[in-house]
Amino acid sequence: MKILPQGGLIEEMYVLKRDFATKFLALCILAVSVMMQPLAAQAHSPELEEGMRAFYAEEYAKAQELFADCLKKHPQDSLAMGYMLHSAYKLKEINTVNNQIEQRAVARGEDPTALAHLGMGYFLKGMIIPNQMDESVTEFKQAIKDDPQVSMAYTGLGMVYFQKRMMPRAKGYFVRALRINPHDVMAMELLGNIMLVDDKKPEDARQLFERITAELPTYPDGFYYLGSSLFDLGRTEEAIPYLLRCRELDPKGLTKGFDAASLLGDALMKENRLAEAVDAYQKAKEIRPDSEYIDVQLRKAKGENV
């Protein structure tokens, strides 16, 4: 799922202590152990897979209903929660949905899952209204205080610190979430993103992204990140089918479809498959006509002077 703008900074004690180096090393070892655990049986509901199909077909009302049904079966599924809220945003119903989540949280008293859901709602609002991001932290922390096994709350805190670019702290929360719920696709994706982009560990990231595509084969972003990690590993030819699959699943570029189309062109250029690269860049241009990068790459693929 595409995560957008960053909020303001808040103070929260988790990783930054005097024994930071020792704790950070332990955290890295823990992250590797989480990645290397065998993947258990599929934990996601059919509603999540169908919800993804509906979302990327821009059938947002249907998608929202399917994601809500998924959450009834898997209330800790942070990806379903995120996409339900994203669908509501697309329908211009985000305030209505957030109000419903708030009402449920109040009605249920100190229900930690309801608090985690509320935190997710505030997180999305925090993309637009910065102070809402801090409110999400309050709800996530209270959920964890009430029940340390609420994995969505750890994922939510990781998302907050990911947005703030506080990556060691974000990584710690994603690892905690995955220790509780190894099927948390959102936590896997963002932890893998940190490993790929910030830690420059594409092989470790690749293993996480491969798990995502196995868990949720209708989720385009998993295929984009798997292809991207293979590209960074120099395994360009292996990356191509995954980038193609992402583009097929997200043809309008709602999340990573454009990035996949662009990187697909780059991969084909590296393989000297110029005619195919031209086609890839043209499809990327259909998604984002004003991309200067695509204009330049398209001219290069056609053999024109740049």
pLDDT at 65: 97
Say what percent of the chain tops pLDDT 70.
Answer: 86
Rounded Cα distance, 280 and 277, in Å: 5
Domain residue spans in the chain? 45-187, 219-306
CATH superfamily to which 219-306 belongs: Tetratricopeptide repeat domain (1.25.40.10)
CATH fold for domain 45-187: 1.25.40
Residue 213 pLDDT > 90 = yes
Residues contacting residue 137 through CB under 8 Å, at least 6 positions apart:
10, 12, 119, 157, 160
Confidence of residue 110 (pLDDT cuts 50, 70, 90): confident
Over residues 39-48, the mean pLDDT reads 64
Over residues 44-51, the mean pLDDT reads 90
| DSSP label at residue 90 | H
Say what percent of the chain tops pLDDT 90.
Answer: 76
Q: What is the pTM of this model?
A: 0.83
Over residues 260-270, the mean pLDDT reads 98
Among 21-25, 81-85, 218-222, 278-282, where is mean pLDDT lowest? 21-25
pLDDT at 19: 38
Over residues 137-144, the mean pLDDT reads 95
Residue 1 pLDDT > 50 = no
Among 40-49, 69-78, 106-115, 151-160, where is mean pLDDT lowest? 40-49
Of 163, 202, 234, 136, residue with least CA distance to 1: 163
Over residues 118-125, the mean pLDDT reads 92
Task: Work out the mean pLDDT of the chain and round it to a whole number.
Answer: 87
Residue 27 pLDDT > 80 = no
Letter string b/e over residues 229-266, b meaning 16 or more CB atoms within 10 A of that residue's CB:
bbbbeebbeebbebbbbbbebbbebbbbbbbbbbbbbb
pLDDT at 17: 33
